[in-house]
């Protein structure tokens, strides 16, 4: 993946909205779930997570993004409707070899932009205490820790961010 890091610096990265059940999305999610199984205390079982229907991650209810370098998926994120006007960010993942390049922040900005385009004025997300990189990213990106808004069994931190009206970017 060092070669992919170098290409990211030289040629940039492609962000694309994809079908949530596409090969690219599945490739990202397979790697994401494998990483969670290793990093979470007690492992990770996708069946134990709150369910997400693929249709919830398609416009007009949501979106699924994949970031690729030379056609190789290296990051993903999705947003879906939580309640009218509020989006719920799920599946935020960056390949371990790509961390430290700013890709996580760019992916977060891209999914916030999608959220804004879908009409969301606020976004929510939750994460596990083992994902310290994610927790730091969210805090630095203007997310505020809030009381739990769901019963996600793997969550220890819940966050909220208000988006700038009509732009889906940091406020």
> What pLDDT is stored for residue 51 in this prediction?
60
Three-state DSSP state, 146: strand
Sheet with 144-146: strands ordered across: 14-17, 62-69, 72-83, 86-94, 122-127, 157-162, 144-146
143 and 161 Cβ atoms separated by less than 8 Å: yes
State how far the Cα of 27 lies from the Cα of 141, in Å rounded to an integer. 27
Residue 46, pLDDT above cutoff 90: no
Cα dihedral 70, 26, 60, 12, rounded to 10, equals -20
The mean per-residue pLDDT over the stretch 22-38 comes to: 95
- Rounded to a whole number, what is the distance in angstroms from the first to the last CA of the chain? 33
Three-state DSSP string of 43-100: CCCHHHCCCCCHHHHCCCCEEEEEEEECCEEEEEEEEEEEECCEEEEEEEEECHHHCC
State how far the Cα of 11 lies from the Cα of 19, in Å rounded to an integer. 25
Q: Provide the whole-model pTM.
A: 0.88
The mean per-residue pLDDT over the stretch 17-30 comes to: 95
Q: In the structure, what pLDDT confidence band is assigned to residue 79 with cuts at 50, 70 and 90?
A: very high
Three-state DSSP state, 131: coil
Q: In the structure, what pLDDT confidence band is assigned to residue 171 with cuts at 50, 70 and 90?
A: very low
The mean per-residue pLDDT over the stretch 141-164 comes to: 96
> What pLDDT is stored for residue 135 in this prediction?
97
Residue 122, pLDDT above cutoff 80: yes
Three-state DSSP state, 9: helix
> What pLDDT is stored for residue 12 in this prediction?
77
Q: In the structure, what pLDDT confidence band is assigned to residue 11 with cuts at 50, 70 and 90?
A: low
Across-strand partners of 159? 125, 145
Domain spans in the chain, listed from the N-terminal domain onward = 2-162
> What pLDDT is stored for residue 53 in this prediction?
87
- Which superfamily does CATH assign the domain made up of 2-162 to? Gcn5-related N-acetyltransferase (GNAT) (3.40.630.30)
């Amino acid at each position: 993946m060092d070669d992919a890091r170098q290409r990211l610096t030289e040629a940039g990265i492609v962000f694309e909205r994809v079908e949530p059940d596409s090969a690219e999305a599945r490739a990202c999610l397979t790697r994401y779930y494998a990483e969670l199984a290793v990093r979470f205390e007690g492992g990770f079982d996708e069946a134990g997570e709150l369910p997400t229907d693929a249709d919830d991650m398609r416009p007009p209810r949501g979106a699924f993004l994949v970031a690729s370098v030379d056609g190789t998926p290296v990051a993903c994120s999705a947003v879906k409707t939580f309640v009218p006007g509020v989006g719920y960010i799920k599946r935020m993942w960056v390949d371990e070899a790509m961390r430290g390049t700013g890709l996580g922040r760019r992916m977060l900005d891209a999914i916030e932009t999608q959220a804004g385009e879908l009409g969301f004025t606020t976004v929510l997300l939750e994460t596990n205490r083992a994902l310290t990189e994610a927790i730091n990213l969210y805090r630095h990106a203007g997310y505020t820790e809030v009381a739990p808004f769901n019963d996600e069994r793997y969550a220890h931190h819940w966050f909220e961010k208000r988006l700038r009206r009509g732009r889906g970017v940091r406020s």
